[in-house]
Every structure is written in C-alpha cells, then in structure tokens.
Amino acid sequence: MPRFHRIAALSLAATLALVSIGGLVRATKSGLGCGDNWPDCPGEVDRALIIEMSHRGAAVVVVVLLATLALLAWRRRREAPGLVAPSVIAFGLVLFQAVLGAVVVWLELRAESVVLHLGTAMALLVLLVYITAASSVSVANLDAATDAGIARRGRLVAAAVLLLLLAGSYVTGRDAGYVFGDWPLMNGRLVPDLSVERFAVHFLHRALAGVVGIMLLTFCVGIMRRKRELPLQARLAHIAAGAFAVEVLVGAANIWTRLNPAVVTLHLALGALILASVAGIAIISRPEFAAGAARARSLKMEPAST
C-alpha cells in the first residue's frame, strides 16, 4: 500500500505543522482572533485573525488527509486489516480535536481546556507515528531489529515527555511563562517562593524538565550504544536527544527574549518532534513489527515465485 503510506507520512507531517501553528496562536495570543465565534470568523482583518484562521485552515487540511486515510484503509482492508481501526480512530480524533477547538474558544482559552486540546493533538500525533510505521511494514519498507525491553522503556519515556508538554501548556495557560527574568535560576534562587502560585507552576515545569531530560538522555544513549544492532532506533534516538538539547536552549531563550512568539512556537514544535521520535522508537521496537515486516516481505515475493 505505497499510496496509503505516503498519505500517512503526509498526515504526520501536516499534524506536526498544525501543532506548531497552534503554538504560534498561543504565543501571539491569537486564540480569540475571531472573538468567541466558531467556525465563522467575523471582524476586521488583523494579525490575530489571520493567525487564528491559518490554524483553522491547517486543521481542515489534516481532517481531509485523515478522511482520505480512513477511506483508503477501508478499501484495502483485505491487504492490511490492522490499519483500518487506527485510521478510523485517527479520523475520529481529529474531529474531536476540532470540537475541542471550539470549546477552547467558547471558554475563552481557559488553561484546562487548552491542555486537553494539546493532549488530544499529541495523542493524534503518536497514533499517526504508529500508522506510518505500520504502513511501512505493509509495503516491506521497515526493516528494524526489535527489543521488547526498549519498547517498554520507550513507552515510559514517551509518557514522561507528554506529561512535560502538558505541564508546559498549563504554564502558558496560567500566564506563568515569564515570571522570572533569569535562567537557570529563578529570581536569583534555585528554588523560588513556592507560596506564589505562578512561581510554583513555573518551577514545577522546570523541575519536571530536568527529570524528563535525564530519563530521555539515558534512554537515548543506551540505544545509541547499540546502533549496529538497532540502526533505525539509533537514528530516532539521535533526533530525540539532539532536539532535547536544542529544546533546553530554546526554553532558556523563552526567558531571555521575554516569550518571543517565534521562540515559543519553536519550543512546542521541538517538544512534539521529541515525542514523535521516542514514540517511534517504542513502536518499531515491538516484536510484532518484525513479524509483520517478515509477512509483508513474503507476500511481496509470492507472485515472483509462482
């Protein structure tokens, strides 16, 4: 199913772009660029309206792509029956995400609704990583050694990265992104006054970033040391570790630039890339994927042998 695989990969890239544009919407405070109206967008054309409408337009593109993906999966269900349910769920998730977008607008960007909106987007992103990898198996393009232990640890690290992303979204939602003018200290202290709620929210995000960073880097280094045995996982580990190193600098730049919109947007985009990379490691390391790739290769060879 080469066509399905291409659309799956395109859907994954489009979803990453959608998440990044969503970060720009938050960074520029354009979430209410259309007021509390959804899906229509009345009012004068200004920067906030243009950014908000670009986000909605990107969402429409993703909806169309995932509808196409679900339709293709259904039509080719005899070839790859395992792709039908994930593709239909992905389409359902993006529709649910659109409804959540309306709720976020109607609730005027309440922190909890924004966190839920991002969480659904990240769930969709991980599901598309799975679909893209699974469709690679179906066309016998994925040839990766597997390790159940790495798959388990990968799921744990991916969950930790997701938690960090959601915590960061909550920080933004509570306007706690720039409560200290210095980094890595906070008002010149390692631990700020935690009786101030916004200080505590910001501090917990930094502390969580430290814990997740140790987990991630330890996980990635362990895979890199086995790059001959696990070459595909090692490439993804390099992406995740490199992106996290840049992410730390970008996080500092958020403070140094007083939440410059471009820097804030990059911060979220890198976080999504890290999550996708770690999820990819966990997914392709599952022993079931090796069995699937072997079946796909045997099916491709059958016509030539008859």
Give average pLDDT by consecutive 10-residue segment, the chain, 306 residues. Answer: 88 95 85 65 72 88 96 87 92 92 79 90 96 77 75 96 95 90 92 94 96 97 93 95 96 94 94 97 85 53 44
In terms of Cβ atoms closer than 10 Å to its own Cβ (0-12, 13-18, 19+), residue 261 is middle
Does this model's pTM top 0.85? My answer is: yes
Q: Say how far residue 102 (Cα) sits from the centre of its chain.
A: 20
**Which amino acid is residue 204, in one-letter code?**
L
pLDDT at 271: 96
pLDDT at 301: 47
Considering just the CA atoms, what is the radius of gyration of the chain in Å? 21
pLDDT at 141: 54
Structure tokens at 53: 């409408």
Structure tokens at 214: 């140790």
pLDDT at 286: 87
| pLDDT tens column, 8-32 | 999 999 999 999 998 898 888 776 6
pLDDT at 258: 93
| pLDDT tens column, 134-146 | 888 665 555 567 8
φ, ψ for residue 186 (rounded to 5)? Answer: -130, 105
Q: Which of 79, 73, 56 minimizes the C-alpha distance to 132?
A: 73
**Residue-averaged pLDDT of the chain:** 87
- Provide the residue count of the chain: 306
Q: Which of 23, 264, 5 minimizes the C-alpha distance to 122?
A: 23
CA distance 278 to 287: 17
pLDDT at 220: 97
Q: Which of 291, 292, 293, 278 minimizes the C-alpha distance to 150?
A: 278
